[in-house]
Amino acid sequence: MKIAIIGAGSSYTPELFEKLAEKKEELPIKLISLMDIDEVRLEAMASFCRRYAEHLGLKVKIESTLNMDKAIYGADFVNVQIRVGGNESRKHDEKIPLEEGFIGQETTGAGGFMKALRTIPEILKIAASIEKNAPEAWLINYTNPTGIISQAIHDYTKIKCAALCAGGLRNTWNTASALGVDARDVQYDIFGLNHLNFTYNIKVRGKNISKEEFNKVLDKTGLSPEMKEMAIIMKAIPSAYLQYYYHRVKKIKVLKKEAKSRAEVVLDLEKEIFEDLKNPAFVEKPDSLKKRGGDGYAEVAALTMEAIHNNRDTWGVVNVPNGNTYSFLPYNAVVETAVMINAHGIKALATEPPPKAVWGLVSMVKNYEMLTAEAAVTGDRDTALMALTHHPLVMDYDAAKILLARLMEAHKDYLPQFK
């Protein structure tokens, strides 16, 4: 069994090794191929991962390469965690929208829009390599914005893809913690898109939780008091990312006051992380890595690979084509919803009707996402302009023209399709 990790220089890679070690009996891996375009980061990570794997008792061959085709050749799973332009580009995604009076965030609004335009062409290159070098492999994606990337993969390729995010499963862990139950006994309906979802109809061992138990789960989410009020009214728990919609004016003020953008904070932190990783004395995750965040992604990835490899029916939350799940969205619209995972694929499960209050918001953002995926592939500037104009966090044609021009100029080196 072979696993490839594309973008292995990412600081998330050790988390995946940790989860693979926990599941070494269920996932009998012989080879892990690490690939990145940054040779310095790649070799630092590969060296650490060899020490870490030995420490964890994960007996696998670990190779590193700058050649994507070599990494993917013969793989069973191709884990993708790339950041086109790195955190230097992320700075523009966060700062330029804020300067124009809009939310500056890496996956939400104009920032996520630009990240998708940069990333989708590279993801499609990876998909093409899979079709050529490992046609039976699954692409396990947790590159953001994963919902839009998944839309492009499903619309423009024929590969098998699991587009994941820890956020979809976070309420299983919140429920388990709040009610003292096993997370594997928790299931629920979840409606929406990546970073724009609503959890409702929570059940433990098939039985609906009570209002009091729902409130206990809600207290574990870390949501603002106002968003908790909304959750009680809707009887559904919103994703934490909905703060950018429901507290838009407040969030803009807060973001503008911050001395550093999140990208600048991460850039500083990653200098510390990679200095630690280069130190041969470290055989476990250094404290600097624990400060990076992003926990949960590796757990979801390992769970998905295990379910597919062992053909074990596993409940999860994945970004998949809508089909007939929600009648008011297009058939091919990728949604984030509850699924059953096994060797035969990932199938959306039937759900109770979602809260009426959120149908419109989800439909608007889905419209934006589908236009963005199309623009990223075709390089059509008018389609890109329509996508950005119709994002609910923009909704202004004049402002969208200015935003698009500034963002495209800042990222021109990573947007060859628009030339």
Among candidate residues 288, 312, 293, 289, the one with its CA nearest the CA of residue 302: 312
349: left (phi over 0), alpha (psi -120 to 50) or beta: beta
In the residue annotation, 241 being an active-site residue is answered as yes
CA–CA separation, 324 vs 291, rounded Å? Answer: 41
Give rounded-to-5 percent helix, strand, coil for the chain. 55, 15, 30
CA–CA separation, 357 vs 335, rounded Å? Answer: 17
Strand partners, 79: 5, 140
CA–CA separation, 4 vs 15, rounded Å? Answer: 15
> Residue holding tokens 């913690």?
177
Strand partners, 139: 78, 161
The number of beta carbons lying within 10 Å of the beta carbon of residue 234 is 16
Alpha helices of 32-85 — where are they, by DSSP H? Answer: 39-56, 68-72
* Residue 83, φ and ψ in degrees, nearest 5: -135, 95
| Residue 174, both tokens | 């919140």
Buried b / exposed e along 108-136 (16+ C-beta atoms within 10 A): bbbbbbbbbbbbbbbbbebbebbeebbee
Q: Are 67 and 38 in contact (CB under 8 A)?
A: no
Q: Which long-range contacts (CB under 8 A, 24 or more apart) does 239-244 make?
A: 239/167, 239/192, 239/195, 239/196, 239/197, 239/198, 240/167, 241/107, 241/108, 241/167, 241/195, 241/196, 242/196, 244/103, 244/105, 244/108, 244/109, 244/393
Q: Collect all residues with Cβ–Cβ distance below 8 Å to 186 and sequence separation of at least 6.
A: 171, 172, 175, 176, 202, 203, 204
Catalytic residue among 52, 73, 200, 241: 241
Among candidate residues 157, 175, 142, the one with its CA nearest the CA of residue 303: 142
Active site residues: 241
